[in-house]
Amino acid sequence: MMKQILITGKNSYIGNSLEQWLEKTPGKYRVEKVSLRGEGWEALDFSGYDTLIHMAGIAHISSDPAMEEAYYRVNRDLTIKVARKAKAEGVKQFIFMSSIIVYTGCYDEQGVITKDTVPDPRGFYGKSKIQAEEGLEDLRSKQFKIAVLRPPMVYGRNGKGNYRKLSRFARLTPIFPNVENQRSMLHIDNLCEFMKQLIDCEARGLYFPQNKEYVKTGELVKAIRKAHGKNTYLVKLFNPMVKRMARKGIMNKVFGNLVYEKSMSEYEEFDYRVRSFKESIELTERGSV
């Protein structure tokens, strides 16, 4: 039987990528997308859908106090409103895209998040996400299955965010600090395959998908440059200064440690790592300028 899928957020990078991924299996999925801007979506009948994938929201991170109300209104309140409508109209499964950002205030000195790490977000984005999760918890039932994903940085061709910024910088610098750090990352194809399998088995629960490999920033820069036919020299000369600066701010995002303990992302029922790190960088950088 063909799965009927509704994705909220017509301009979502992940949502659009998932639609294209599901189209690779003709006849198995029927995907529609809806914008949640305004109130027109409230008249849409959800009863014909098996799974609703909620991608609509404010994705960028801001500390501007003027944005606080918008974060909670869109990322928390709208999420819960959509889920309530989905449950009331008989949708079987609700998939919510949260984020590793809910852990910003609580991972250990090595930057490792374990299954026992309790979320403690900092900033409006992380707080709005965790509060949305808490609101969804009250809606769970045997008939209404809720799956929450907390992915690390998602990247892929034509993606947005910090990866794109790093990629542009990497192509300009042949010399880069050789700092021994580790980051969890998730290629868009691996994420899409993960969600596809969630849909197939109507899964519920909390999930932490990530690539099989942790990534060192220096090796990431090297791989990006190699994809463009450029050599890279990783040097330790600047490491003392970089490590001091990496304790906070943007430098911490580049050179700090932040990983999910690997067993958290292993699922016997989900063989979702369709791209290796090397292949994922080649695919991401192919055709980029």
Find the largest Cα–Cα distance for the chain. Answer: 61
- Report pLDDT for 270: 86
* CA–CA dist 285, 228 (Å, integer): 8
Question: Residue 130 contacts by C-beta under 8 Å, 6 or more apart in sequence?
Answer: 98, 102, 119, 121
| Whole-angstrom distance, CA of residue 212 vs CA of residue 191 | 12
Give me the pLDDT at residue 11, please: 87
**Rounded distance between C-alpha atoms, residue 2 and residue 29, angstroms:** 5
33 phi and psi angles, rounded to 5 deg = -125, 150
SS3 153: strand
**How far is the C-alpha of 49 from the C-alpha of 204, rounded, in Å?**
17
pLDDT at 123: 87
- The per-residue pLDDT string of the chain (289 residues; one tens digit each, 9 = 90 and over) reads 899 999 999 889 999 999 999 999 999 999 999 999 988 999 999 999 999 999 998 877 666 777 889 999 999 999 999 999 999 999 999 999 999 999 988 766 688 999 999 999 988 999 999 999 999 999 999 999 999 999 999 999 988 888 999 999 999 999 999 999 999 999 999 999 999 999 999 999 999 999 999 999 999 999 999 999 999 999 998 788 777 776 666 677 788 899 999 999 999 888 999 999 999 999 999 865 4
Nearest-angstrom CA–CA distance, 163 and 156: 9
- For 248-265, how does the pLDDT look when each residue is reduced to its tens digit (9 = 90+)? 666 777 888 999 999 999
Instruction: Report the alpha-carbon distance of residue 49 to residue 71 in Å, rounded.
Output: 27
Residue 204 to residue 212: CA distance in whole angstroms: 22
289, 228 contact by CB (below 8 A): no
For 26, 53, 87, 94, 128, the CA distances from 138, given in Å and listed in that order, are 35, 18, 12, 13, 16
What confidence score (pLDDT) does residue 14 get?
Answer: 96
Domain annotation for the chain: domains and CATH numbers: 3-150 (3.40.50.720)
At residue 112, the 3 state secondary structure works out as strand
93 close to 145: Cβ distance less than 8 angstroms: yes
| pLDDT given for residue 289 in this prediction | 45
Flag whether the pTM goes above 0.85.
yes
